[in-house]
Amino acid sequence: MTDPLQPFYDQIAAMKEKGLYSTIRTVESPQGAWLKVNGKKVLNFCSNNYLGLAGNPRVGKAAIAAVKKYGVGPGAVRTLSGTNVLHLKLEEEMAKFKKCEAALVVQGGFIANIIAIQTIMGKEDIVISDELNHASIIDAVKIAQIGNKFIYKHNNMQDLEMKLKEVQPLAQTPRVDGSKRLVLIVTDGVFSMDGDIAPLPEIVKLAKKYGAITMTDDAHGEGVLGNFGRGIVDHFHLHGQVDIEVGTFSKALGVVGGVIAGKKELIEYYRQKARPFAFSTGLTIPDTAALIEAISMLTKSDALVKKVWANGAYLKKEFKKLGFNTGVSETPITPVMIGDENLAKTFSMKLFDHHVFATPIKFPMVALGKARIRVMPSASHTKKDLDFGIAAFAKVGKELGII
Ligand SMILES: *Cc1c(COP(=O)(O)O)cnc(C)c1O
């Protein structure tokens, strides 16, 4: 008898052939500018640890102190006995940090998007989504079973307005129960594969004009954009004008978890109704304590935020000088465009031989033929670290005929 799951195993072979198979490496050291990977010391050019907080001793110490006081696990879902005082403290600090009325802390950024959309949207509602939005937004729309999905061209405000006009007749038709349909415009804040930023002021303006609500997923903006890393809404001075602000704690904040911030009544609704909040246990004690410390550090000094921007600017300048195409990034994210998937993979493997760990980004994360090495600078890189990496890129780039 053949294994009914055989088609999946066959796909693996095909993926390997096309260069679409991901080799997952194992890290044997703390996160930082340098990592130990497969027994080898390598320069870390591929973590989302923008501010170096993932391996920060002060953050670690806060986690240890909290474990001594409260133990490790929260013991139950947040709605039963699993809400620790630290969860509420983190929510309060996060609301202040984002200058929002309230915040709900959840298990991750992916689930935060699902909660944000699924809890308030259903099959009769309308979503208008940027074509390059993160997988978790795409899945959130699917899980919410929204019947009316519209995709606008990436960051293209003319196209967004066209879609908004197109949905007006439907938007004006009441739901079966007589209530008003929601029209949601949703966008990533920073698009992580290219490093460009959503034109949020224009999006907010269009939303107001057409009676839509807005949601931004600021996973790569939090801790990076805005004053003291307060995120994209702060960057554009749009406080209070974006209805749903989603974020993650796994990138610049260096830990894990997600957040939904906004008006106090909306956050209260999520707290009452969100299924992954009510039916899945919340963040652990050490995660939560570490995050409180990370936010407190960010609030006190913007030195780390400034450093990651300076490092990103330096990388872009030097890569361009060498003749690499670094795309359209407006943030520290520095893509080095390659094109072919297998060539990007080879590039990355050769970099690794030169002790530089930079992963290829390829389909399905980006379109086919748009493979790249995405260089992620961090505040923990010194100029010497960056120069080491740049030298390796120069060598491999010449060897492979890219520059
Ligand atoms: C990384 C990322 C997420 C997922 O966040 P996690 O906290 O890792 O689950 C969601 N949205 C965007 C845009 C991201 O870049």
Q: For 16-32, how does the pLDDT look when each residue is reduced to its tens digit (9 = 90+)?
A: 988 778 888 999 999 99
Residue 255: the pLDDT is 98
CATH number, residue 187? 3.40.640.10
Q: Which of 51, 42, 75 has the alpha carbon at shortest distance from 302?
A: 51
What are the two backbone dihedrals, phi and then psi, of residue 34, each rounded to the nearest 5 degrees? -120, 145
| Bridge pairing between strands 258-262 and 244-248 | antiparallel
CA of 395 to the centre of ligand 1 (A): 33
Regarding whether 306 and 285 lie in a shared domain, the answer is no
Asked if residue 310 and residue 296 are part of one domain, the reply reads: no
87-101, 129-143, 246-260, 357-371: least confident range: 357-371
Q: Does 289 fall in a domain? A: yes
Query: Would you state the pLDDT for residue 150?
Result: 98
Which pair of structure tokens corresponds to residue 183? Answer: 């029209």
Q: What is the share, in percent, of the chain residues with pLDDT greater than 70?
A: 100
Q: Note down the domain range covering 373.
A: 17-46+302-399
Same domain, 282 and 213: yes
Residue 294 sits in the same domain as residue 313? no
**End-of-domain residue from the set 281, 300, 319:** 300
**Are residues 292 and 201 located together in one domain of the fold?**
yes
4 in a structural domain? no
Q: Which two tokens stand for residue 274?
A: 């969100």
Boundary (domain end) residue, out of 260, 275, 300:
300
C-alpha separations of 328 from 226, 285, 305, 337 in Å: 19, 39, 21, 10
251 labelled catalytic: yes
Using CA atoms, how far apart are residues 16 and 345, in angstroms rounded to an integer?
A: 11
| DSSP one-letter string for 116-174 | HHHTT--TTSEEEEETT--HHHHHHHHHTT-SEEEEEPTT-HHHHHHHHHHHHHHHHSP
pLDDT for position 277: 97
Which residue's CA is the closest to the ligand 1 atom numbered 6? 109
Nearest CA to ligand 1 atom 2: 219
Q: Which whole number is the average pLDDT over 50-62?
A: 98
Q: Residue 248 CA: which ligand 1 atom is closest? A: 7
pLDDT in tens, 293-325: 999 999 999 999 999 999 999 999 999 999 999
Active-site residue, selected from the candidate residues 220, 307, 316, 381? 220
Q: How many domains does the chain have?
A: 2
Q: Is residue 8 part of a domain?
A: no
Residue 1 has pLDDT above 90, yes or no: no
Last residue of a domain, one of 265, 300, 335: 300
Give, in order, the Cα–Cα distances in Å from 385 to each of 11, 326, 380, 382: 39, 19, 9, 5
Gap from CA of 219 to ligand 1 centroid (Å): 5
pLDDT given at position 18: 84
To which H or E segment does residue 233 belong? Answer: helix 232-235
pLDDT of residue 364: 85
**Is 9 part of any domain?**
no
For the whole model, what pTM was predicted?
Answer: 0.96
At residue 20, the pLDDT reads 79
3-state SS, 204-232, equals HHHHHHHCCEEEEECCCCCCCCCHHHCCH
Q: What whole-number distance in Å separates Cα of residue 148 and Cα of residue 100?
A: 29
CB contact at 8 A, 74 and 284 = yes
Give the residues surrounding ligand 1 with Cβ less than 6 Å away.
108-110, 134, 136, 188, 192, 217, 219-220, 248, 250, 258
CB atoms within 10 A of CB 118: 22
Minimum mean pLDDT range among 123-132, 252-261, 355-364 = 355-364
Residues 333 and 285 in one domain: no
Specify whether 192 is catalytic.
Answer: yes
Amino acid 356: pLDDT: 98
Which residue has the least CA distance to atom 14 on ligand 1?
Answer: 219
Under DSSP, the state recorded for 281 is B
**pLDDT, the chain, mean:** 97
Is the confidence at residue 97, as pLDDT, over 90?
yes
Tokens of 130: 């940027």
Residues 347, 370, 329: CA angle, nearest 5 degrees = 90
Mutate-to-test residue for ligand 1 from 251, 253, 280, highest number of ligand atoms within 8 A of CB: 251
Same domain assignment for residues 64 and 40 = no
The answer to whether 100 and 261 are in contact (CB under 8 A) is yes
Determine contact, residues 260/104, Cβ cutoff 8 Å: yes
Give the angle 11-14-20 at the CA atoms, nearest 5°: 100
CATH of the domain at 323: 3.90.1150.10
Residues 280 and 386 in one domain: no
The answer to whether position 91 is within a domain reads yes
Is residue 224 a part of any domain in this protein? yes
Instruction: Catalytic residue, from 192, 250, 329, 348: name it.
Output: 192
* Other residues' Cβ atoms within 10 Å of the Cβ of residue 198: 24
Q: For 209-223, b where at least 16 C-beta lie within 10 A, e where not — what string?
A: ebebbbbbbbbbbbb
Whole-number Å distance, alpha carbon 119 to ligand 1 midpoint, is: 19
Q: How far is the CA of 110 from the centre of ligand 1 (A)?
A: 5
In tens, the pLDDT along 242-272 reads 999 999 999 999 999 999 999 999 999 999 9
367 and 219 in a common domain = no
Given this model, what pLDDT does residue 21 score? Answer: 86
Q: Which atom of ligand 1 is nearest to the CA of 218?
A: 13
What is the best residue among 134, 138, 333, 366 to mutate for testing ligand 1's pocket, by most ligand atoms within 8 Å of CB?
A: 134
- Domain contains 357: yes
In this predicted structure, what is the pLDDT of residue 229? 97
Inter-residue contact 362 to 352 (CB < 8 Å): no
38 shares its domain with 66 = no
Same domain, 368 and 307: yes
Domain contains 141: yes
CA 256 to centroid of ligand 1, rounded, Å: 10
- Same domain? For 82 and 158 the reply is yes
Active site residue 220: yes
